[in-house]
Structure 1
């Protein structure tokens, strides 16, 4: 019994180093945090002293950058962008991309005579054009619809290792359904005028063959769908007569339809569902009929001022020139540091 107080005192004594270690840990942590803030403060003070020493150089370069940026912003406000979303048909995407790249190449080469000839404008108008750009325009929903159409045409086993992400990664620049074309220039009327000619693709033998095939297939599909719709309407009328006759007389009327185990009301409901599907397919086929009238369909087109892009040249160039000035001011310090190292080695 007399040993128990001693054991308790030993345990209490053993906890003292633990609390001391924890206290030292917190002290070191706060000291490290303080050193970090102290180092940041020293760095800021040294930076301010360095900038004060070279204030004239930095101020001059900052103002030069801001002035150049202001000039570029003014030039940007004078520009206009025609933005078009187009849909090339009959595998004409490659030709469309090639045409847009050709127009951009003619601008870079300053061959405005050839550019004017291709876009059916005069050379003076062609000189107001600044750039032609094209890129794929799509959403995941649009790509998912394409993937679904591919899945319906393909074998199930072939699609097991071909995921939607793999489908997106495998697409080439010429494989997309929609494209965004941006035409920039300083004259709004000229930009608007050349928008449609710029995305026009001349028919070649391949495009003509695909167009004719698409028209014939579309006409055949419409004819079949309209025939199916007539037959469905006829069946619906017959079911309605059969249901009306059974409900009034309870006996067999002049129209007899064998439905198996299915109820007449359920069969009629299925027919209305089939009719709705047929009407949707007919609507899509008619849209395709008019879609195939042009090689490239313009889905949307609008012209915006260049300033809408908000490139903020004044701010960007001012700080870029300020950074260049600081680098120039650091060169003498770096040079003297290297000289001291060289003298110490000797």
Structure 2
């Protein structure tokens, strides 16, 4: 004989009826809440209209008179100075948050109160990073085998070694190259250690250019001599001709490599004239992030929302006071 008692159909009907009544009560309460809200809005339509107009007017005024701008500078940290640059940028940003006017003034920032934020991010260029040297390619290859390639590319250990990085500066009001960008770049380029390295590399490149140019002139002289002797001599000795032609190919290859190295050295001199090289600057990009420029929309709804919240709290206080009074009277 089974120990489980059969389910009573009457109990199931009672449960369903109770659930149906509760859902009906919830629906009726929701409709009543909407109706009370409609009555509240109708009673206070003048106040709500005034709040909307005042909020829109105030927001429009603030949007017009308080404008925030972004300024972007693409830089190249040379001579392994990327970590140094990141630490200096983070230091400047921390001084802004601390409102350390003495420090900001010491590095040449003119409009200290308008200086809101500075940050630096790498410009992702995994192909350029991998092509710089074979070791970089092997590092990316090794790291990608053990994880997601996208995570490897964005990993700070990898990304800080990319060639170019972007400085993003935020200010209240417009700024100029002279008053904002130049002081920051001068500060980043003020490190004595990296300045010595820059000078040493620059001098070395100049010497290399001069040495390569002498070698190229010697090769040109050798080629001219070879051409002259080839025209005067006969072409009967094929072995000698073959050997000389093979040597000539090596000489031409060496000259081509030297010319390419000369071009690379000239580019290095241009790009390496400073520790932190400024490549491009874009000033006064209007900032529309967060609520910047949107106060004319935010303020009306904020004021109306606060008024509605006050009304709800007032009704809640009244209802709780009535309940307390009823309980006390009993």
Q: What TM-score comes out, normalization by structure 2 length?
A: 0.61
Q: Does 1:288 align with 2:256?
A: no
Deviations 1:300-320, CA, capped at 9 Å, x for gaps:
123326477763221133333
Deviations 1:75-103, CA, capped at 9 Å, x for gaps:
334x6554322222233334434444444
Q: Is the 8 A contact 1:241 1:255 kept in 2?
A: no
Distance 1:238 1:325 in 2: 96
Q: Does 1:318 align with 2:304?
A: no
Aligned residues: 286
1:196 to 168, 182, 189: 182
Query: Helix, strand or coil for the counterpart of 2:171?
Result: strand
287-296 or 65-74, larger mean C-alpha shift: 65-74
Quote the offset at 1:188 in angstroms.
4.1
Deviations 1:223-271, CA, capped at 9 Å, x for gaps:
68667867987899899999x99xxx996689713599x9xxxx98x99
Quote the offset at 1:133 in angstroms.
0.9
Structure 2 stretches lacking a partner, 5+ long = 1-30
Q: Is the 8 A contact 2:117 2:171 kept in 1?
A: yes
Aligned to 1:22: none
Query: Helix, strand or coil for the counterpart of 2:180?
Result: helix
Q: Does 1:182 align with 2:169?
A: yes
Deviations 1:251-294, CA, capped at 9 Å, x for gaps:
6689713599x9xxxx98x9999977765543232111122221
Aligned to 1:133: 118
Aligned to 1:88: 77
Q: 1:170 to 1:252 in 2, by over 3 A?
A: same
219-228 or 323-332, larger mean C-alpha shift: 219-228
RMSD of equivalent CA atoms: 5.1
Aligned to 1:162: 143
Distance 1:209 1:153 in 2: 27
1:214 to 197, 201, 213: 201
Distance 1:222 1:341 in 2: 94
Deviations 1:168-226, CA, capped at 9 Å, x for gaps:
2322585443222325254645x642321112224445424533553366457656866
Aligned to 2:241: 256
Aligned to 1:302: 282
Query: Helix, strand or coil for the counterpart of 1:294?
Result: coil
Deviations 1:148-168, CA, capped at 9 Å, x for gaps:
335x12585x65431243432
Aligned to 1:4: none
Query: Helix, strand or coil for the counterpart of 1:72?
Result: helix
Distance 2:42 2:127 in 1: 59
295-304 or 318-327, larger mean C-alpha shift: 318-327
Query: Helix, strand or coil for the counterpart of 1:69?
Result: helix
Aligned to 2:15: none
Distance 2:53 2:202 in 1: 64
Distance 1:101 1:111 in 2: 14
Q: Is the 8 A contact 1:128 1:187 kept in 2?
A: no
Distance 1:137 1:159 in 2: 16
Q: 1:67 to 1:255 in 2, by over 3 A?
A: farther
Quote the offset at 1:72 in angstroms.
2.3
Distance 2:182 2:174 in 1: 16
